[in-house]
Amino acid sequence: MPDVIPKVVVVGRPNVGKSSLFNWLVGKRIAIEDPTAGVTRDRLVQRIELDGRIVDLVDTGGMGFDDPDGLTAKIDAQIESGLADAAIVVFVVEVRSGLLPADRDVAARLRRSGAGVLLVANKADDPKFDVQAHEFDALGFGEPLVVSVRQNRNRDDLIEAIVERLPEAWPEEAEQAELPEMKLAIVGRRNVGKSTFVNALAHEERVITSPIAGTTRDSVDVRFEVDGHSFMAIDTPGLRRAKSRKSDIDFYSTHRAQRSIRRADVVLLFFDASEPIGKVDKQLAEEVVEGAKPVVLVVNKWDLYAGGVPQKEWVEYLRETFRTMPWAPVEFVTATRGRNVKAVVDTAQRLFRQSRTRVPTAKLNSIVRASIEANQPPADPRGKPVRIFYATQVETAPPTIVLSTSAPKSVSEPYRRYLLGVLRKHTPFKEVPIKLLVRGRTAETPE
């Protein structure tokens, strides 16, 4: 099905508050807000509802910014791609600084694009600035809509103006607006090839790639399809060690990578085949384990290493290093050539299904009874064996199993691990984390 969701693209010169306005409309802090020019590089896309219409809101980098890392052309290409798909362009200017030559340059570029433009004058924190906004009438896009993100001024007016300019809704719009069936967070330290992998999934240069560490600063959501199924890949900033974080941007990037893990259905934890596992890799693994997320360990750039060491040795290396996730599958890819990319998605789908499976209470209790017969629980403080009355699954994603026992505190950690091993062997949860909660006996028993 063609993409029928209209795209509302936010553009403007640097430091006019585009990312702040983007977050304001989304209702969450998605884009990094920082006074440093050029923070936003990639297109950030969020699917939101505005007065009953579903739109993809797109944040872009500042037009006319000369990137110090030599990425200006790539940032510019991202802006052009956004404009090419735009149903409406929200052109943001700043009241307090007045009309600048850079604003005129943006206006000229928008006229060449042919897109419909809504002119928005931001940072009018006080009504006294409203009159000054008429200076921007000279840009040729009509009277600007005056807003203040900081003071929450005229947000409803902005939404109304956007919706009025949207094209008529397609019948398929509501169907396509449904959330993707699986969200994949792609995480790893800097320069392991995460963005290259995302572009291989999307079959386009959807996010900027370069040899420069830290190219990706935001978490970037990218929709893609495999075998007719819709997915969302969340490309995340590469993490660096805490003592190496030198700026607010590093802090925000770290926070966003961690949040992306929390909102993902499945995590792809990336490694560089030519580099040893480091402290940042272990920190990320801890985040995944703490969040009880299904995870695929992905060894990228395998073409540079194949033949040097067998895959089996790399798997053993990962197993030895990450002992808290022995259940996690391992995949080897070459993202630059698209090798094994689909296999990774297929594996992630398998984990996604496992994590959402429910096991009937009767089957769980049969498994637990057999495990008790094979290995009795430890004794309680009075020397009596702990009694396990029943087990029931109370949640999915992650699968969460509650054991009702006579003495919860006496169920030792080794015995918990034993029960988890039995459950993993005899349930569908063979490659995903399982939460095992041990409780005292309640008045009610499960159905």
With a cut of 70, list the residues of the chain below it in pLDDT: 1-3, 30-43, 64-76, 171-180, 204-220, 235-256, 306-307, 442-447
Residue 129 lies in a domain: yes
42 and 132, same domain (yes or no): yes
Let me know if residue 227 belongs to a domain: yes
Same domain, 39 and 74: yes
The pLDDT value recorded for residue 132 is 93
The two tokens of residue 55 are: 């739109």
Instruction: Give strand pairing partners of 187.
Output: 269
Residue 52's domain comprises 7-176
The last residue of a domain, from among 176, 211, 238 = 176
Mark whether 298 and 348 lie in a shared domain. yes
The per-residue pLDDT for 247 is 44
Do 327 and 374 have their domain in common?
no
AA identity, residue 264: A
277-283 CB contacts, 8 Å cutoff, 24+ apart: 277/317, 277/318, 277/321, 278/189, 279/241, 280/189, 280/239, 280/240, 280/241, 281/188, 281/189, 281/321, 282/321, 282/322, 283/239
CATH number at residue 91: 3.40.50.300
Tell me what pLDDT residue 171 has: 63
**Is the domain of 208 the same as that of 336?**
yes
| Domain co-membership, 260 together with 230 | yes
The helix-helix angle for 413-426 and 361-374 (nearest 10°) equals: 130
Contact in structure between 254 and 238 (CB atoms under 8 Å) = no
In a domain, residue 2? The reply is no
Residue with tokens 């807003």: 147
What's the whole-model pTM score? Answer: 0.67
Domain boundary among 142, 176, 210: 176
Q: Determine the angle formed by the axes of helices 194-202 and 341-355, rounding to 10 degrees.
A: 90
Sign of the torsion angle spanned by Cα atoms 338, 339, 340, 342: positive
Are 298 and 268 a contacting pair, CB within 8 Å?
A: yes
**238 & 370 share domain:** no
Per-residue pLDDT reduced to its tens digit, 238-291? 555 554 444 444 445 566 677 788 889 999 999 999 899 999 899 899 999 999
Spell out the residues 6+ positions from residue 28 whose beta carbon is closer than 8 angstroms to its own.
none
**Structural domain ending residue among the three candidates 143, 159, 176:** 176
308 lies in the same domain as 249: yes
The answer to whether 273 and 314 are in contact (CB under 8 A) is yes
Same domain, 247 and 365: no
What's the structural domain count of the chain? 3
**For residue 1, is it within any domain?**
no
Claim to verify: residue 413 and residue 282 sit in the same structural domain: no
Q: Is residue 433 part of a domain?
A: yes
103 plus 214 within the same structural domain: no
- Same domain, yes or no: 390 and 321: no
